[in-house]
Amino acid sequence: MATIKKKSLDLSTEQKIKKAALKLFTQKGFSATRTRDISDEAGINLALLNYYFRSKENLFQLVMAEILQKFFSGIIEIFNDEATSLDEKVNSFVARYTALLKEQPELPLFIFHELRLHPQKLASKIGLSKVFNSFFFKQLSAEMDRKKIAPIHPLHYVLNMIGMCVFPFIAAPLLKHIAGVDARTFETIVDERKVLVPKWMKSILNTK
Amino acid sequence: MATIKKKSLDLSTEQKIKKAALKLFTQKGFSATRTRDISDEAGINLALLNYYFRSKENLFQLVMAEILQKFFSGIIEIFNDEATSLDEKVNSFVARYTALLKEQPELPLFIFHELRLHPQKLASKIGLSKVFNSFFFKQLSAEMDRKKIAPIHPLHYVLNMIGMCVFPFIAAPLLKHIAGVDARTFETIVDERKVLVPKWMKSILNTK
DNA sequence: GTCTATAAAGTGATAGAC
DNA sequence: GTCTATCACTTTATAGAC
pLDDT for A165-199, tens place per residue?
A: 999 999 999 999 999 999 999 999 999 999 999 99
Instruction: Determine the pLDDT at residue B90.
Output: 98
Task: Tell me which amino acid residue A35 is.
Answer: T
B46 and B91 share one domain: no
B19 and B79 share one domain: no
Q: CA–C1' distance B117–C11 (Å)?
A: 21
Instruction: Determine the pLDDT at residue B39.
Output: 98
Say if A185 falls within a structural domain.
yes
* More confident: B31 or A133: B31
Q: Is the pLDDT of residue A4 over 70?
A: no
B140 and B106 share one domain: yes
Q: What does the H/E/C string look like for chain A?
A: CCCCCCCCCCCCHHHHHHHHHHHHHHHHHHHHCCHHHHHHHHCCCHHHHHHHHCCHHHHHHHHHHHHHHHHHHHHHHHHCCCCCCHHHHHHHHHHHHHHHHHHCCCHHHHHHHHHHHCHHHHHCCCCCHHHCCCHHHHHHHHHHHHCCCCCCCHHHHHHHHHHHHHHHHHCHHHHHHHCCCCHHHHHHHHHHHHHHHHHHHHHHHCCC
Say if B59 falls within a structural domain.
no
Q: CA–C1' distance B17–D2 (Å)?
A: 14
pLDDT for B163-185, tens place per residue?
A: 999 999 999 999 999 999 999 99
A73 and A48 share one domain: no
The parent domain of residue A36 ranges over 1-54
Instruction: Indicate the residue of B31, B180, B196 with minimum beta-carbon distance to A31.
Output: B31
| Residue B156 to residue A189, Cβ atoms within 8 A | yes
CATH number at residue B170: 1.10.357
Instruction: Determine the pLDDT at residue B59.
Output: 98
A105 and A27 share one domain: no
A48 and A139 share one domain: no
A106 and A199 share one domain: yes
Give the pLDDT band of residue A9 (cuts 50, 70, 90): low
Q: Which residue is nearest to nucleotide C3 (CA to C1')?
A: A45
Say if A195 falls within a structural domain.
yes
Instruction: Determine the pLDDT at residue A113.
Output: 98
A45 and A81 share one domain: no
Instruction: Determine the pLDDT at residue A131.
Output: 81
Give the pLDDT band of residue A7 (cuts 50, 70, 90): very low
CA distance A77 to B182: 25
Among residues B11, B36, B54, which one ends one of the domains? B54
Question: A80 near A89, Cβ under 8 Å?
Answer: no
Instruction: Indicate the residue of B28, B152, B206 with minimum beta-carbon distance to A196.
Output: B152
Question: Distance (Å) from the C-alpha of residue A203 to the closest C-alpha of chain B?
Answer: 6
B96 and B128 share one domain: yes
| pLDDT average per 10 residues of sequence, chain B (208 residues) | 49 97 98 98 98 98 97 94 97 98 98 96 85 91 90 96 98 95 97 98 92
* Structural domain count of chain A: 2
A199 CB closer than 7 A to any strand D atom: no
Say if A113 falls within a structural domain.
yes
pLDDT for A49-99, tens place per residue?
A: 999 999 999 999 999 999 999 999 999 999 999 999 999 999 999 999 999
CATH number at residue A39: 1.10.10.60
A113 and A200 share one domain: yes
B39 and B132 share one domain: no
B39 and B71 share one domain: no
